[in-house]
Amino acid sequence: MSVDRTLHHFPLDPFSREVRLVLGEKRLRFTEVAERYWEQPETLAALNPSGLPPVLVELRPGERLVVCESRAILEYLDERYADPALLSNHDVAERVEARRLLHWFDRKFDYEVNSLVLHEKMEKRLLGLGAPDLTALRAGRQALRAHLTHLEGLLNNRDWLAGARMSLADIAGGAHLSVVDYFGEVPWEDFPATRLWYSKMKSRPCFRPLLNDRYPGLQPASHYDDLDF
Amino acid sequence: MSVDRTLHHFPLDPFSREVRLVLGEKRLRFTEVAERYWEQPETLAALNPSGLPPVLVELRPGERLVVCESRAILEYLDERYADPALLSNHDVAERVEARRLLHWFDRKFDYEVNSLVLHEKMEKRLLGLGAPDLTALRAGRQALRAHLTHLEGLLNNRDWLAGARMSLADIAGGAHLSVVDYFGEVPWEDFPATRLWYSKMKSRPCFRPLLNDRYPGLQPASHYDDLDF
């Protein structure tokens, strides 16, 4: 059955990237609409009351489905398009661990790292709020090292973040770290297991569109799209 | 099969309350361990790397399952104990809408309301940080009215938050609003549809333990446990 699929997203939004990675991993074609969400576009607010990307719209004969917020979209896609399974076929302990890590990235990493590092280096530029505050940036970098230490501990004992199989946890980790990496903020050299895992993620076809992202006025770090970084 | 089930939680934590409500709704018995999470107990950190409640531990012959973070616990419980279904048997549009609202409460409501209202009225007391900041409290109250306006719009057209059936969205809404209501901060009189919905929630057996919560030094509003408020 033919599905007309549209993703409303912002290229450097980690939550939008989670959805793009899952769509890529499942080889689902979609039309992109890039949203400058900080300008509060009415079209976006009409789809999602929070006014934020990502929003996925799927049209089928007799059905118009609007799916708002990254976690809802991820769970929806994995239930509806089970191949490859990123959660739905995993055993209970891996599902539970993957969802712990989804929460970790989407709340804890977002609060402690993105809200400092990305706010200072990206959002202030987009919003015209002036130069980064170095104290805030330093606090964000310190939090990032604590997060990487946690991931390194996991990846010293596992092939993928939640266990033996790739899952939504890897999608979330790849999405969040890739944006921080765009700004050259990930100290890969100190976290070899995490670096190896990220190089596996980066080599997947689903990652290619993310590595091609270039936002006007915000150049990525030189190694950003280098598979052998 | 007998399951030895323990919930590590904090009585006035909205995320912990989500789990208590689902356990109650599904009539699953559990042992409670109340955690003073702000004192960073090592036993809790050993279960959950984030150091936060809620954490659910289930022991079966040959299986020890530790489920961390509210959303992971909610999804786990609804998959494993499907009766009554709070998501797993709902149609796709209601599932998607319930998960949009889970995100709404756990991120947007938490950022915009809890981090101001509960921080000023509860966390500062627990942490010994002094008197509430009235400017912050006012901003939180204003955000709460915006949230209630969104809920009122939904409940003018639906029996339950996500549609025709009770779902995890109602659990999340009930959990978050009940803590704000403990502190007497919900202007129910201006939101009649939301008040009616909350009175339905409050009357369910799963809500009774929450209404019996009393935290030393933090008295609830006089109407807090009144079913006819």
Q: ipTM value of the model?
A: 0.95
The Cα–Cα gap between A191 and A119 comes to 24
The Cα–Cα gap between A112 and A92 comes to 29
What is the distance in angstroms between the Cα of A215 and the nearest Cα belonging to chain B? 27
Same domain, A103 and A205: yes
Tell me if A183 sits within 8 A of A2, measured CB to CB: no
Q: What are phi and psi of B194, to 5 degrees?
A: -70, -35
Q: What is the pLDDT of residue B89?
A: 86
Same domain, A8 and A42: yes
- Given A80, A100, A122, the domain boundary residue is A80
B→A interface, C-beta within 8 Å: 48-50, 65-72, 75-76, 79-80, 92-93, 95-96, 99-100, 102-104, 106-108, 150
Nearest by CB: A68 against B100, B107, B150: B100
Whether the per-residue pLDDT at A1 is higher than 70: the answer is no
Identify the residue whose tokens are 């993620």. A201
Q: What is the pLDDT of residue A96?
A: 97
Contacts of A39 (CB under 8 A, 6+ apart): none
Here the tokens at position A153 are 């501990």
In chain B, the residue whose alpha carbon lies closest to the alpha carbon of A54 is B100
Same domain, A19 and A101: no
Contacts of B148 (CB under 8 A, 6+ apart): B186, B187, B190, B191, B194
In a domain, B188, yes or no: yes
In a domain, B49, yes or no: no
Instruction: Say which CATH number the domain at A66 has.
Output: 3.40.30.10
Probe site for chain A from B3, B48, B52, B69 (most A CB atoms < 10 A): B69
Same domain, A96 and A67: no
Contact B100 A75 (CB under 8 A): no
Same domain, A53 and A97: no
Instruction: Say which CATH number the domain at B104 has.
Output: 1.20.1050.10
Number of domains observed in the structure of chain A: 2
Whether the CA torsion A192, A196, A197, A198 is positive or negative: it is: positive
In a domain, A217, yes or no: no
In chain A, the residue whose alpha carbon lies closest to the alpha carbon of B97 is A67
Nearest by CB: B71 against A79, A92, A103: A103
In a domain, B145, yes or no: yes
Same domain, A172 and A63: no
Residue A109, CA distances (Å) to A62, A127, A141 in order: 40, 22, 11
Contact A76 B93 (CB under 8 A): no
CB-neighbour burial class of residue A87 (10 A; exposed 0-12, middle 13-18, buried 19+)? buried
Same domain, A98 and A204: yes
Question: Over its length of 229 residues, how does chain B's per-residue pLDDT go in tens digits?
Answer: 689 999 999 999 999 999 999 999 999 999 999 999 999 999 999 999 999 999 999 999 999 999 999 999 999 999 999 999 999 888 999 999 999 999 999 999 999 999 999 999 999 999 999 999 999 999 999 999 999 999 999 999 999 999 999 999 999 999 999 999 999 999 999 999 999 999 999 999 999 999 999 998 899 999 999 998 8
Structural domain boundaries, residue B189:
92-205
Q: What is the pLDDT of residue B1?
A: 64
Q: What are phi and psi of B56, to 5 degrees?
A: -105, 130
Query: What spatial distance separates the first Cα and last Cα of chain B, rounded to whole Å?
Result: 41
The Cα–Cα gap between A224 and A39 comes to 27
Nearest by CB: B104 against A50, A104, A107: A50
* Beta carbons within 10 angstroms of residue B46's beta carbon: 11
Alpha helices in B26-133 (DSSP H): 42-47, 70-80, 92-103, 124-127
In a domain, A46, yes or no: yes
Alpha helices in A1-57 (DSSP H): 14-25, 42-47
The one-letter amino acid code at A221 reads A
Average pLDDT over residues A12-41: 97
- For chain B, what is the radius of gyration of the CA atoms? 17
In a domain, B61, yes or no: no
The Cα–Cα gap between B205 and B187 comes to 24
For residue B66, the chain A residues in CB contact (below 8 A) are: 96
Angle A161-A163-A166 from CA coordinates, rounded to 5°: 65
In a domain, B189, yes or no: yes
pLDDT, tens digit, for every residue of A196-217?
999 999 999 999 999 999 998 8
Same domain, A199 and A100: yes
In a domain, A183, yes or no: yes
Tell me if B163 sits within 8 A of B97, measured CB to CB: yes
Contact A103 B65 (CB under 8 A): no
For residue A104, the chain B residues in CB contact (below 8 A) are: 49-50, 69
Angle A115-B52-B137 from CA coordinates, rounded to 5°: 60
Contact B104 A72 (CB under 8 A): no
Same domain, A111 and A200: yes
